[in-house]
Amino acid sequence: MEIMYKNTRDASEMVTASQAILNGLANNGGLYVPTEIPKLDVPMEALSEMSYQEIAYEVMSRFYTDFTEEELKTCIERAYDEKFDTPNIAALKVAGRACFLELFHGATVAFKDMALSILPHLMITAARKNQAKEDIVILTATSGDTGKAALAGFAGVEGTKIIVFYPKDGVSPIQKKQMVTQVGDNTLVVGIDGNFDEAQTGVKKMFSDAVMNQELAEHGFRFSSANSINVGRLIPQVVYYVYAYAKLFRNGKVSPGEKINIVVPTGNFGNILAAFYAKEMGLPVAKLICASNENKVLYDFFTTGVYDRNRPFILTSSPSMDILISSNLERLIYRLCGEDSEKNAALMEELSTTGKYTITEEMKEGLSVFYGNYASEEETKEAIRKMYETNGYVMDPHTAVAACVYEKYRNETGDDAVTVIASTASPYKFTRSVMDAIEPDNTESDDFKLADRLAELSGVAIPQAIAGIRTAEVRHTKTCAVDEMPDTVRSFLWN
């Protein structure tokens, strides 16, 4: 069965999977959604014998129907290799009352690696399939994390270049070190004299600059974006939920057909939407538990049916969830509207003009598989401490938000079904917050020394991705003013 991709805001647009991956965003700012969620018609007995890569093929081939078997298998092979520090790619660890699905064994020790390691390969394959001869140029502005994960994914991938702009004085020392030590001749990392918003605006301007796009085409390049709304990022995230269930099944933790709950620390709503897709494919899932930090727009939305971004933006210890507009939620809203692109477009228009929208009672009923709640900063810290003291397991603050919300859910409902918590970052990525929770008296000011101490306490070795940057050579020293960004791009690409 051929799966096509339609636009959530324009019923007249319909493209193939490879075109959706290549385009990223649909017309009028809409998102691409599959015309149907395919069924995972492989018995669990068979899936439970498969490797991560084999399951990835089973899931992705059902969504990306215009890719050949060889194309997809090549992408998967190139993505899920020794860049990951476990041959299983994702790891399942039992601690306390839940199973942690560790999604942080890739190049930047956070879950974005799961999708960003395959996106470049999907993109160049998609380009070839659509007779796009140009090399792909990824332009990104970053406030820290996404930039590094994208760099790691695209580095050394033939047919692509990646240019990352970051605010020179606006990222943490470790984040900066991670980026400026990036290897790969196709990578460029530039610090700008300005803040993140200016970097972001500069990048957006280049994307929409007709003259610059023309110049690029003349030199054999085209811009593309590695944004989290790309279906080339969304679908690879479905894989690990299927993988987790298959592992539980194999280990006798669930019996045939037994439903599990999934808890996801949520920001842009991509990861939890992937879990929803897994459920729609037929994976036995009962509740999808959406965990927020103090920026609890989603919790309020699930409770009231009103999505309202008009509120103060709170900086928390789980920065990747400090988000007021969860872009991927639009895909769910579109479904709740009965796939009516006009209704959806009207709600999104309201969001952009007034900062809020309200869904109908009928639409709200469609949200019953979700449970939303949030954790305060104090609760998050307490969750890290308690988990460490009772089970010896160390969680990063994002995962701790999820664990805390799971406890709230259990206390409220008494539901003791097998539950998987998506564990989205290594504690070593947020050493300071983690150490503040488990050893509050420690006054060490050097982050690397703190990491050494965390290794002693947790018995988990410092991942190579963190240890390596201590001594790595700085390869990117370029800085520029905001208005010099286009010339910086030109001179990297063809001067």
* Terminal-to-terminal C-alpha distance of the chain: 47
Pairing mode of beta strands 91-95, 32-34 = unpaired
CA distance 378 to 368: 29
- Look at residue 357 and give its three-state secondary structure: strand
> Among residues 229 and 489, whose Cβ is nearest to ligand PLP?
229
> Among residues 15 and 425, whose Cβ is nearest to ligand PLP?
425
- What does each C-alpha distance from 273 to 102, 114, 117, 357, 415 come to in angstroms? 18, 15, 19, 20, 22
Q: Nearest approach, Cβ of 360 to ligand PLP (angstroms)?
A: 25
Residues 347-386 that bind ligand PLP (CB under 6 A): none
Using CB under 6 A as the binding rule, whether residue 271 contacts ligand PLP is answered as: yes
Using CB under 6 A as the binding rule, whether residue 424 contacts ligand PLP is answered as: yes
> Among residues 111 and 357, whose Cβ is nearest to ligand PLP?
111
Query: How many chain residues interact with ligand PLP (CB under 6 A)?
Result: 17
Task: Pinpoint the alpha helices (H) of 267-317.
Answer: 270-281, 297-304
Using CB under 6 A as the binding rule, whether residue 421 contacts ligand PLP is answered as: no
Using CB under 6 A as the binding rule, whether residue 111 contacts ligand PLP is answered as: yes
Q: Which of 107, 176, 105 is nearest to 144 (CA)?
A: 176
Using CB under 6 A as the binding rule, whether residue 112 contacts ligand PLP is answered as: yes
Using CB under 6 A as the binding rule, whether residue 170 contacts ligand PLP is answered as: no
Residues 121-150 that bind ligand PLP (CB under 6 A): 145
Q: Which of 260, 261, 314 is nearest to 292 (CA)?
A: 314
CA distance 97 to 410: 10
Using CB under 6 A as the binding rule, whether residue 182 contacts ligand PLP is answered as: no
Active site residue 112: yes
- Contact letters (x/-) for ligand PLP, 286-325, by CB under 6 A? ----------------------------------xx----
Burial class (CB in 10 A: 0-12, 13-18, 19+), 147: buried
CA distance 122 to 18: 8
List the one residue from 38, 270, 427, 463 that touches ligand PLP (CB under 6 A). Answer: 270
List of residues 6+ apart from 255 with CB closer than 8 A: none
Contact 460, 388 (CB under 8 A): no
> Among residues 335 and 398, whose Cβ is nearest to ligand PLP?
398
> Among residues 178 and 341, whose Cβ is nearest to ligand PLP?
178
> Among residues 326 and 341, whose Cβ is nearest to ligand PLP?
326
Catalytic residue among 6, 83, 112, 381: 112
Two tokens, residue 289: 């538990």
List the one residue from 165, 221, 245, 269 that touches ligand PLP (CB under 6 A). Answer: 269
Q: Which residues bind ligand PLP (CB under 6 A)?
A: 110-112, 145, 228, 265-271, 320-321, 398, 424-425
Residues forming the active site: 112
